């Protein structure tokens, strides 16, 4: 039996150094319980979770509807059937997703993680179009498995592993403000023309309507509209990565809905299933139905516990009006944060959309220091992001109260101001 005091030393001994556990501190808190937006250590100290398990626990921890759904699935006695047998929990999720989407004639392919779903989208797009090449965007993040890493822009995390396997992707500029939209679209159009002339037509155009990990850039409706037109003109598929910003976090059901486009493929994950391993590719029925049985499967896809949690999550978002809560309650809190820090010359910019906010510091060292100070002095858990790690990211549960969020932002403001005195 492991003693509570041994958790830290055992983790440090055996865990791969590729994991971020000890990035901010050699002695990070060990959490043994969670409830709502709070996490509790083995010593009974409470921390406010503004990370949500990298934007996965969007309803907070130990949410009653999710726990009840998982418990009911456990009580069935069937932890997994594989994909060759019908699961009522999988069927219920398909039905709930179709109601949530309100898009007719769709098919759904379940996976276990965002990276795996991106791999599915790449593979399906190549199969459908018969072409190999993709256009993705500078600053885009789509995962760290080989295929997903190939369409992730950061050279720091991509180049050491990809080599020639990533040569099927060309990166195009992503606008950082509205004034750059036209030039970015022109550059993307040029890439399409070049690929056509080279006899290598583009199979897929992969975009995050809001670049989340890179620091909350977008959405730019005219940019998305232009990408839809380019995809149609050149006969390629438009894939939107909603893993980070989808399912209410952006203040819309999906962040692409800030425009009028209809994507060919929608990729979701993270906040779908109460942090249990689950993701999905949602596509037009005529696309996914072209695959033959067994063309793309995974042992644990459609796990009953994850499907049950996801069904409950989607119901909660709709029935409790959480998208309106994000837009009308949480986003204004970030506006107040931006006002409170507007005269601080040590902050380059604050960007926010819905329930996601990026506070841009001068460099990654300062951003990491702010995260550490917030954790140690105010018991606030924040996240690191940005194009070069220069952002302090805030990703609260989408059902957090206005009072609690404002209180935490006031504490964070003081941490930042004190840091530069």
218 φψ region: left (φ > 0), alpha (ψ -120 to 50), beta (else): left
Mean per-residue pLDDT for 331-349?
A: 96
As a whole number, the mean pLDDT across the chain is: 94
Q: Is the pLDDT of residue 5 over 80?
A: no
Residue 223 near residue 256, CB atoms below 8 Å: no
Mean per-residue pLDDT for 381-397?
A: 97
104-149 per-position pLDDT tens digit: 899 999 999 999 999 999 999 999 999 999 999 999 999 988 888 8
Bond prior to 360 in cis (omega within 30° of 0): no
230-280 per-position pLDDT tens digit: 999 999 999 999 999 999 999 999 999 999 999 999 999 999 999 999 999
Does 315 or 166 have the greater pLDDT score?
315
- For residue 380, the model assigns a pLDDT of 98
- For residue 99, the model assigns a pLDDT of 95
15-37 per-position pLDDT tens digit: 888 887 887 788 889 999 999 99
Residue 344 banded pLDDT, cuts 50, 70, 90: very high
Mean per-residue pLDDT for 336-354?
A: 96
CA pseudo-torsion sign 225, 230, 233, 237? negative
- For residue 8, the model assigns a pLDDT of 85
Question: Hey, is 350 helix, strand or coil?
Answer: strand
Residue 183 near residue 173, CB atoms below 8 Å: yes
356-383 per-position pLDDT tens digit: 999 999 999 999 999 999 999 999 999 9
- For residue 354, the model assigns a pLDDT of 98
- For residue 3, the model assigns a pLDDT of 72
Using alpha carbons only, how large is the chain's radius of gyration in Å?
Answer: 21
H/E segment holding residue 261: none
- Ordered by where they begin, the domains of the chain are 4-63+321-419 (3.90.1150.10), 64-319 (3.40.640.10)
Residue 4 banded pLDDT, cuts 50, 70, 90: low
Which of the 8 DSSP states describes residue 179? G
155-192 per-position pLDDT tens digit: 777 777 766 555 799 999 999 999 999 999 999 999 99
b/e sequence 226-262, b meaning 16+ C-beta within 10 Å: bbbebbeebebbbbbbbbbbbbbbbbbbbbbbbbebe
- Give start and end residues of each alpha helix (H) in 133-220: 146-150, 155-162, 181-197
Does 268 or 43 have the greater pLDDT score?
268
Mean per-residue pLDDT for 347-360?
A: 98
- Give start and end residues of each alpha helix (H) in 379-401: none
Which residues lie below 8 Å from residue 246, measured CB to CB, with a gap of 6+?
253, 254, 255, 266, 268, 270, 271
Q: Is the pLDDT of residue 410 over 80?
A: yes
């Amino acid at each position: 039996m492991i003693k509570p005091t041994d958790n830290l030393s055992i983790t440090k001994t055996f865990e791969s150094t590729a994991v971020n556990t000890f990035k901010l501190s050699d002695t990070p808190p060990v959490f043994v319980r969670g409830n709502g937006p709070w996490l509790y250590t083995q010593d009974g100290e409470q921390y406010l979770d503004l990370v949500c398990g990298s934007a996965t626990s969007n309803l907070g921890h130990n949410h009653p509807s999710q726990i009840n759904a998982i418990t009911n699935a456990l009580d069935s006695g069937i932890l997994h059937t594989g994909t060759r047998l019908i699961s009522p929990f999988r069927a219920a999720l398909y039905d709930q997703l179709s109601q949530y989407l309100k898009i007719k004639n769709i098919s759904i392919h379940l996976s276990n993680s965002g990276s795996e779903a991106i791999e599915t989208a790449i593979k399906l797009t190549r199969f459908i179009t018969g072409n190999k090449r993709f256009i993705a965007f500078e600053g885009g993040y789509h995962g760290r498995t080989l295929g997903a890493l190939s369409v992730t822009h950061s050279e720091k995390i991509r180049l050491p592993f990809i080599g020639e396997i990533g040569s099927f992707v060309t990166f195009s500029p992503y606008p950082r403000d509205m004034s750059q939209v036209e030039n970015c679209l022109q550059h993307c159009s040029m890439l399409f023309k070049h690929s056509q002339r080279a006899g290598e037509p583009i199979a897929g155009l992969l975009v995050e309507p809001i670049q989340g990990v890179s620091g909350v850039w977008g959405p730019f409706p005219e940019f998305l509209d232009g990408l839809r037109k380019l995809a149609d003109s050149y006969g390629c598929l438009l894939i939107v990565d909603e893993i980070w910003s989808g399912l209410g976090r952006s203040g819309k059901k999906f962040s692409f809905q800030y425009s009028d486009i209809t994507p060919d493929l929608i990729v979701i994950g993270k906040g779908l299933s109460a942090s249990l391993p689950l993701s999905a590719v949602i596509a037009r029925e005529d696309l996914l139905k072209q695959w033959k049985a067994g063309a793309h499967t995974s042992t644990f896809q459609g796990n009953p516990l994850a499907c049950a949690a996801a069904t409950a999550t989607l119901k909660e978002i709709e029935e409790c009006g959480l998208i309106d809560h994000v837009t009308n309650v949480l986003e204004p809190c970030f506006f107040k944060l931006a006002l409170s820090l507007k005269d601080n010359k040590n902050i380059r910019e604050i960007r926010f959309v819905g329930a996601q906010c990026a506070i841009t510091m001068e460099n990654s060292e300062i951003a990491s220091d702010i995260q550490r100070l917030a954790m140690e002095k105010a018991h606030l858990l924040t996240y690191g992001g940005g194009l070069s790690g220069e952002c302090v990211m805030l990703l609260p549960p989408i059902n957090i109260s206005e009072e609690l969020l404002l209180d935490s932002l006031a504490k964070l403001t003081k941490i930042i101001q004190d840091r530069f005195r």
